[in-house]
């Protein structure tokens, strides 16, 4: 019994040691989890952009306004940088526009008169996780700091958004990634290992047809997975889609993301000859892209180096675009930068996917 | 990029085999393939030139690593040669590879069937890749399933098939679009004798439909049973190409006659030599072993000698040379090293 066990143990261990790439990835992954998971989740959210306005009729800055702005700029948690990046706007209209375009997370409107019964109005973007309550706490504390006792009224402009709604939108992106990474690419590597792809190569079918068929089938699967989760979001988490054009816009974002991620995955699957190597790389990609996408936790709360990753992370743009449409009811004008970023990513990924996959067909 | 097929044919200098010019369907000219790996290089195919004639079953025979599969992979456009060229029908292998893929059927050594699909789905899928017209595809698939004896298994996943069934399915799949040429790389490797026999039947059926068939094998019996002409390959080189009969005739030792006895009489062996009909004679383990051309003609004279010496015979056997003997004669080595010689059906079977 022992002899057999030792034989199997030795064989397994020999195989493990013979693949340095997998060894490195195996040890590397937990460390990456520690660094990325640890930093991406639960970091202090600071530098929240807010706008302040002194209401009409404007004559001169009231003591309340001056004191409150100073307090807001200075407000911070112990040993942390300022919580708010304060921008002064000249009118309520401009500030609210900036808020609805997502450039600031809250607009604080101070009365033009110092009489103590006038209200300080706060309009806040309620679609983000944690940020609204931080703003509420921060503004209240800053007001106390000024010594004025004006009442403060908070308005959550997108109503109350539950965490499951916030997170549910992120899961659409996860569905796209999982379907391609796990389903599509493993099938591709398996087909290659089984020689099925080589079988194609002695038929008159064109190389471009093989590439188109492969990327096409996986893209459609990813698209369907994303769409199904979107419908789940509507049915289960109770997000509200405001019209057919919003619905179609969501499908467009899902589609562009699907084709981009699929092409990237086809490129990766073409680079790695064994399922094991591919799996370790994909686990890494999945971790870093999903964690920095903002699906779990606001990007504002991440350390600088993760924010840089988020800046080049196509999933972050996808999550932002989907939240803009689904949670905030914003249209094409607001998500245009996201679509451009996604478009660039998808184009590059398609080129990379075709070139890399084609090389395996030669 | 694409030159007209006619011009590529006329450019061909057509060396050798002048009488075969019109019916040659494959022409291989000085084909060489060198695989380079870091600081090591292996010459898998070494300056091979040969022609395949329309309608024949052509065998590439040789041990593992002789370069048979590499030649097939070059002819089926999966590999490009290091030097030399080949024409399949009127198409050059590197310039007109797409046209070639339209007229060939390939059954590679390792299965490329999708075992999760049913037999019918495998055929239907390949029919589409092979440009079989949509209207006839269903009938064609059913016809081929019938040919392979798999009609009742048509809608079962290939995963559940035996090795022989898979092989037959893969061979008919390569024949879906009625290719001019069918390439079979080790078609019966790993099959039991019954399945092997069935696959042979199938190959002959396909050949009867005017398909040129090129097969590689390291089974002697297979080559002997199926092939009209056989090319012997060894370490990348073509060492002999002829019909099986001519190959055997080329062996100087001729047929092997073994006559068993109980007690040896003085003078028997010189008397046999004295007949002038045999090439060599020796006694070993109560058997007289004689090499002679045309063994069955010589036998009556040998029996007469035994009777003259009043020596009772316990057994007589005549064995014609096998392709194995031809290979040993050509290379001084057995076709396959190790135990596989004993297992191969073309091994040392005695003819009745």
Q: Which residues pair with A154 in a beta bridge?
A: A122
CB contact under 8 A, B126 and A203: yes
pLDDT band for position A21 (cuts 50, 70, 90): confident
Burial class (CB in 10 A: 0-12, 13-18, 19+), A304: exposed
Percent of chain B with pLDDT over 90: 38
Q: Which residue has the tokens 């069935």?
A: B198
Is residue B263 within 8 angstroms of chain A, CB to CB?
Answer: no
Pick among 3.20.20.300, 3.30.565.10, 3.30.70.980, 2.60.120.260: CATH of B252-320 = 3.30.70.980
pLDDT attached to residue A315: 92
Write the CB contacts of A10 (distance below 8 Å, at least 6 apart in sequence). Answer: none
Domain residue ranges of chain B, discontinuous segments joined by +? 5-248, 252-320
Dihedral angle, C-alpha A284, A287, A289, A290, nearest 10 ° = 160
**Closest residue by Cα to residue A86 from A101, A64, A71, A102:** A71
Q: Which residue has the tokens 């390959």?
A: B233
pLDDT band for position A305 (cuts 50, 70, 90): confident
CB B313 within 8 A of CB B260: yes
Q: Which domains, from first to last, does chain A contain?
A: 48-156 (3.40.190), 163-361 (no CATH)
Nearest residue in B to A361, CA atom: B78
pLDDT attached to residue A6: 93
How close B129 comes to chain A (CA, Å)?
A: 5
Work out how many CB contacts closer than 8 A connect A with B: 41
Q: Which pLDDT tens digit goes with each residue over A101-140?
A: 889 999 999 888 777 778 899 999 988 888 888 899 999 9
- In the predicted model, is pLDDT for residue A41 greater than 80? no
CB B144 within 8 A of CB B169: no
Q: Which pLDDT tens digit goes with each residue over A211-257?
A: 999 899 999 999 999 999 999 999 988 888 888 899 999 999 999 99
First to last CA, chain A: 48
Nearest residue in B to A202, CA atom: B101
CB A39 within 8 A of CB A93: no
Residue A275 to residue A188: CA distance in whole angstroms: 10
Write down the mean pLDDT value for chain B.
84
CB A176 within 8 A of CB A254: yes
Across A149-157, average pLDDT: 88
Tokens in use for B249? 């005739």
Residue B263 to residue B278: CA distance in whole angstroms: 22
CB contact under 8 A, A195 and B110: yes
CB contact under 8 A, A203 and B77: no
- In the predicted model, is pLDDT for residue B58 greater than 90? yes
**Closest residue by Cα to residue B219 from B59, B82, B89, B339:** B59
pLDDT attached to residue B341: 37
CB contact under 8 A, B104 and A202: yes
ipTM for this prediction: 0.72
CB contact under 8 A, B78 and A196: no
pLDDT attached to residue B135: 92
pLDDT attached to residue B33: 94
3-state secondary structure B90-141: CEECCCCHHHHHHHEEEECCCCCCCCCCEHHHHHHHHHHHCCCCHHHHHHHH
**Do the domains B252-320 and B5-248 match in fold?**
no
Residue B183 to residue A238: CA distance in whole angstroms: 61
Contact list in B for residue A194 (CB cut-off 8 A) is: 111-112, 114-115
Across B83-105, average pLDDT: 91
Is residue B102 within 8 angstroms of chain A, CB to CB?
Answer: yes
pLDDT attached to residue B2: 40
- In the predicted model, is pLDDT for residue A143 greater than 50? yes
Is residue B111 within 8 angstroms of chain A, CB to CB?
Answer: yes
Residue of A194, A195, A204 lying closest to B130 (CB–CB): A204
Residue of A195, A204, A206 lying closest to B112 (CB–CB): A195
Across A43-68, average pLDDT: 85
- In the predicted model, is pLDDT for residue B18 greater than 70? no
pLDDT attached to residue A345: 94
Is residue A200 within 8 angstroms of chain B, CB to CB?
Answer: yes
CB contact under 8 A, B131 and A204: yes
Residue of A195, A196, A204 lying closest to B98 (CB–CB): A204
Contact list in B for residue A199 (CB cut-off 8 A) is: 108, 112-113, 126
- In the predicted model, is pLDDT for residue B335 greater than 70? no
For residue A57, whether the previous peptide bond is cis, meaning omega lies within 30 degrees of 0, is: yes
- Span of A86-95, A215-224, B318-327 with lowest mean pLDDT: B318-327
How close A202 comes to chain B (CA, Å)?
A: 6
Residue B121 to residue B123: CA distance in whole angstroms: 5
CB contact under 8 A, A202 and B102: no
Is residue B211 within 8 angstroms of chain A, CB to CB?
Answer: no
Q: Could you say which residues from 32 to 91 on chain B have a Cβ atom under 8 Å away from some Cβ of chain A? A: 76-78
- Span of A31-40, B178-187, B242-251, B304-313 with lowest mean pLDDT: A31-40
pLDDT attached to residue B349: 39
Across B124-151, average pLDDT: 92
Nearest residue in A to B100, CA atom: A204
- In the predicted model, is pLDDT for residue A317 greater than 60? yes
Contact list in A for residue B101 (CB cut-off 8 A) is: 202-204
CATH topology of domain B5-248: Rossmann fold (3.40.50)
Contact list in B for residue A206 (CB cut-off 8 A) is: 98
Contact list in B for residue A204 (CB cut-off 8 A) is: 98, 101-102, 129-131
Across B235-245, average pLDDT: 90
A329 phi-psi bin (left φ>0, alpha ψ -120 to 50, beta other): left
């Amino acid at each position: 019994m022992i002899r057999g066990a030792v034989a199997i143990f030795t064989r397994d261990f020999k195989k493990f040691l013979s693949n340095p790439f997998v060894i490195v990835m195996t040890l590397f992954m937990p460390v990456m989890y520690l660094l990325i998971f640890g930093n991406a989740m639960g970091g202090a959210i600071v530098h929240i952009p807010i706008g302040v306005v002194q209401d009409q009729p404007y004559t001169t800055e009231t003591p309340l306004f001056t004191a409150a702005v100073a307090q807001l700029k200075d407000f911070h948690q112990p040993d942390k940088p300022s919580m708010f990046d304060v921008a002064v706007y000249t009118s309520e209209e401009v500030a609210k526009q900036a808020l609805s375009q997502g450039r600031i997370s809250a607009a604080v409107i101070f009365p033009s008169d110092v009489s103590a019964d006038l209200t300080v109005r706060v309009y806040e973007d309620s679609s983000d996780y944690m940020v609204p309550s931080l703003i509420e706490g921060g503004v209240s504390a800053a007001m106390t700091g000024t010594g004025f006792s004006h009442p403060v009224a908070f308005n959550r402009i997108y109503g109350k958004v539950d965490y499951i709604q916030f997170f549910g939108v992120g899961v659409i992106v996860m569905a796209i990634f999982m379907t391609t990474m796990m389903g599509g690419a493993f099938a591709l590597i398996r087909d290659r290992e089984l020689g099925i792809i080589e079988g194609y190569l002695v038929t008159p079918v064109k190389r471009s047809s093989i590439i188109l068929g492969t990327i096409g089938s996986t893209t459609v699967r990813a698209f369907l997975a994303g769409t199904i989760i979107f419908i789940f979001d509507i049915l289960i988490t109770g997000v509200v889609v405001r019209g057919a054009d919003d619905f179609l816009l969501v499908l467009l974002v899902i589609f562009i993301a699907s084709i981009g991620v699929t092409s990237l995955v086809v490129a990766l699957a073409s680079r790695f000859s064994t399922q094991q190597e591919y799996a370790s790389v994909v686990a890494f990609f999945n971790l870093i892209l999903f964690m920095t996408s903002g699906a779990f936790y606001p990007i504002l709360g991440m350390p600088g180096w993760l924010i840089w990753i988020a800046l080049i992370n196509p999933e972050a743009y996808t999550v932002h675009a989907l939240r803009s449409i689904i949670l905030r009811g914003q249209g094409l004008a607001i998500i245009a930068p996201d679509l451009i970023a996604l478009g660039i990513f998808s184009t590059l990924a398609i080129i990379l996917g075709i070139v890399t996959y084609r090389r395996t067909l030669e | 990029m694409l030159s007209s097929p006619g011009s590529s044919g006329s450019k061909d200098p057509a060396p050798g085999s002048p009488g075969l010019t019109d019916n040659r369907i494959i022409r291989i000219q000085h084909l060489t393939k060198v695989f380079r790996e870091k600081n090591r290089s292996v010459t898998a195919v070494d300056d091979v030139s040969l022609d395949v004639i329309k309608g024949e079953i052509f065998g590439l025979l040789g041990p593992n690593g002789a370069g048979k599969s590499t030649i097939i992979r070059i002819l089926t456009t999966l590999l490009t040669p290091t030097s030399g060229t080949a024409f399949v029908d009127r198409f050059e292998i590197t310039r007109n590879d797409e046209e070639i893929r339209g007229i060939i059927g390939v059954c590679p050594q390792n299965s490329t069937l999708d075992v999760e699909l049913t037999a019918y789905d495998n055929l239907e899928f390949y029919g589409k890749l092979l440009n079989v017209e949509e209207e006839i595809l269903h009938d064609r698939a059913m016809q081929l399933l019938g040919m392979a004896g798999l009609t009742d298994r048509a809608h079962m996943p290939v995963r559940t098939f035996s090795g022989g069934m898979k092989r037959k399915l893969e061979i008919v799949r390569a024949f879906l679009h009625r290719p001019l040429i069918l390439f079979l790389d080790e078609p019966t490797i790993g099959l039991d004798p019954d399945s092997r026999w069935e696959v042979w039947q199938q190959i002959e059926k396909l050949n009867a439909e005017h398909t040129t068939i090129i097969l590689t094998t390291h089974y002697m019996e297979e080559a002997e049973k199926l092939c009209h002409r056989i090319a012997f390959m060894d370490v990348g080189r073509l060492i002999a190409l002829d019909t099986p009969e001519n190959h055997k005739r080329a062996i100087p030792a001729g047929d092997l006659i073994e006559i068993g006895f109980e007690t040896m009489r003085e003078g028997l062996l010189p008397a046999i030599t004295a007949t002038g009909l045999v090439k060599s004679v020796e006694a070993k383990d109560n058997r007289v072993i004689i090499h002679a051309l045309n063994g069955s003609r010589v036998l009556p004279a040998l029996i007469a000698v035994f009777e003259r010496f009043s020596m009772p015979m316990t057994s007589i056997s005549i064995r014609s040379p096998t392709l194995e003997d031809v290979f040993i004669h050509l290379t001084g080595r057995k076709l396959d090293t190790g135990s596989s010689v004993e297992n191969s059906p073309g091994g040392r079977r005695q003819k009745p």
